[in-house]
Amino acid sequence: AQSVTQLGSHVSVSEGALVLLRCNYSSSVPPYLFWYVQYPNQGLQLLLKYTTGATLVKGINGFEAEFKKSETSFHLTKPSAHMSDAAEYFCAYNFNKFYFGSGTKLNVKP
Amino acid sequence: GAGVSQTPSNKVTEKGKYVELRCDPISGHTALYWYRQSLGQGPEFLIYFQGTGAADDSGLPNDRFFAVRPEGSVSTLKIQRTERGDSAVYLCASSLRGTGNSPLHFGNGTRLTVT
């Protein structure tokens, strides 16, 4: 079955530290991958999307994701965390329809 | 421009009642999705429209759930004989094409509480 897997339901980092949120996908064909962010009581907002041919994708709010086909991964990173980054992050995959991972809650400590 | 609009933002109903949740997608978007999200979970796929027709309704949990999009724009999710287990946030999203790397744009959801 097609799916995305997010490792770690909760991640906690200090303000200014590197953010790394992991996403692995299962597929034998190049997928269409996305990262979304959800703030409390809001819908999901697109952070970035994979573009065929690119390995490093830049998104909003300083986030970026690296596509590694050999590892079937699309991890999300940000060099320096801000308090405002505290939210839940979802990796998603489009193959006939959109599938979402179970999410990772990011906590940023002052 | 205007984003995806969902009404109402909150709905409280009694067990056994009928509810309708409305979604107004971004103008020109052909694809429309409904998801359900429970606390601490990712969005759970319910149904996907391409134009007026349901391209995939495999996520509807049972025959109490039904959705329509008669003119290819606004969609209504209908739940009959509501149960307490139906309590969740119902998210609607639209996409320009729905395929490939055309992203989903989400509304803020309708929080349904069945008492």
- A46 and B100 within 8 Å at the Cβ level: the answer is no
Instruction: For chain A, give the mean pLDDT.
Output: 91
What is the rounded CA–CA span in Å between residue B11 and residue B110?
7
Paired sense of beta strands B110-114 and B10-13, if any:
parallel
Contacts of B101 in chain A (CB under 8 A): 32, 49-52, 94
The DSSP symbol for B87 reads -
pLDDT over 60 (residue B1): no
Closest partner residue to B91 among A43, A99, A101, by Cβ?
A: A43
pLDDT over 80 (residue A83): yes
Closest partner residue to A32 among B35, B43, B100, by Cβ?
A: B100
- A44 and B93 within 8 Å at the Cβ level: the answer is yes
Give whole-number Cα distances, A104 to A20, A21, A35, A107, B37, in Å: 11, 7, 11, 10, 14
Chain A residues whose C-beta is within 8 A of a chain B C-beta are: 32, 34, 36, 41-46, 49-52, 90, 92, 94, 96-103
Q: Which two tokens stand for residue A40?
A: 């409390």
Query: What is the predicted pLDDT for the residue at A29?
Result: 59
Paired sense of beta strands B10-13 and A104-109, if any:
unpaired
What is the rounded CA–CA span in Å between residue B13 and residue B85?
12
| pLDDT tens digits, one per residue of A29-82 | 567 899 999 998 888 999 999 977 778 999 999 999 999 988 989 999 999 999
A28 φ, ψ (degrees, to nearest 5): -100, 0
pLDDT over 90 (residue A96): no
Q: Which two tokens stand for residue A67?
A: 């596509």
